[in-house]
Structure 1
C-alpha cells in the first residue's frame, strides 16, 4: 500500500480556497512564498493526487520531477492508491479530494499562513480523524 500523506496550507480560520484559487494566491509576503517553495520541495520525486482543476493550475515544471495524478469523484481511492504501491503519495486537494482520501492519509502536513480574509472553501478538521 502507498504511504499516503496530505499537504496543504490554511488561513488563520481554516480558509483554503476562494473562487477556485488559494485565497492568498500571488501574495508576495515571505511566509506565502516560502510555503509555495516548500510545497514544491516536499512533493518532488513523489506522486501527487489532486483534482483536475488543481492539477491544471500547477506550473509546467512540476510534471518533470513528480508524478501528477488528476483524480475525479468517479475514481475509487483504493484503486488509485493501488497503482502507486510502495510510493509516497501526497494528496494535494482540493476539498472534494481530501474528503474522498482522508481515511487513507496517515500524515497531514498543514501550514497555517497569516491570512485572515475571505474564502469559499474551508479545511474540515474531521478529515484529520477520518477512518477507513
Structure 2
C-alpha cells in the first residue's frame, strides 16, 4: 500500500468547488497564489490520483514533476492504490473522489483560505474520520 495523503484548500464556510473549478481560481492575492505553489511543491516527485477535471487542471509545466493517474468510477480503490505501492500518493479531490478514497488517506493537509463566496461543492468533515477500513 502506498503512503496515501490529500491536500486541499477550503473556504471559510467549507467551500471547495464552483462549476468544476476552485471558487477562488484566478484570485491574485498572495494567500491564494501561495496555496497553489505549496500544492505543487508538496506533490512533486509523487503520484497525483484524481478525477479527470482535477487531472486536466494540472498545468503542463508541472506535469513533468509528478505521476498523474486519472481515476474512474469503475476502478477498485485497493487495486488502483496497489499500483503505486511504496510511493507517496496524493488523492486529488472533489466529493466523488474523496467519497471513495477518504478511508485510505492517512494524512490530510488542509488550508483554510479567506474566501466566503458562492460554491456548489463543500468539504465533508466525515472524510477525516478513520472508519477502520485502511
Superposition TM-score, scaled by structure 2 size: 0.96
For 1:85-116, what per-residue CA distance to the aligned partner results, in whole angstroms no more than 9, with x for missing partners? 00000011121111110000000000000000
Q: Distance in 1 between matches of 2:120 and 2:28?
A: 22
Correspondence list, 1:16-35, <5 A? 16-35=16-35
Per the alignment, residue 44 of structure 1 pairs with 44
Q: Distance in 1 between matches of 2:54 and 2:23?
A: 14
Per the alignment, residue 97 of structure 1 pairs with 97
Q: Distance in 1 between matches of 2:97 and 2:118?
A: 22
Answering whether residue 111 of structure 2 is matched by residue 111 of structure 1, we say: yes
Secondary structure at the counterpart of residue 84 of structure 2: coil
User: Structure 2: any 5+ residue segments left out of the alignment?
Assistant: none
Runs in 1 of length 4+ with deviation above 6 angstroms?
none
What's the offset of the Cα at 1:130?
A: 4.3
Q: Distance in 2 between matches of 1:11 and 1:35?
A: 12
Per the alignment, residue 74 of structure 1 pairs with 74
What's the offset of the Cα at 1:69?
A: 0.6
For 1:5-44, what per-residue CA distance to the aligned partner results, in whole angstroms no more than 9, with x for missing partners? 0110000010000011000000000100000000010000
Superposition TM-score, scaled by structure 1 size: 0.98
User: Structure 1: any 5+ residue segments left out of the alignment?
Assistant: none
Aligned length: 132
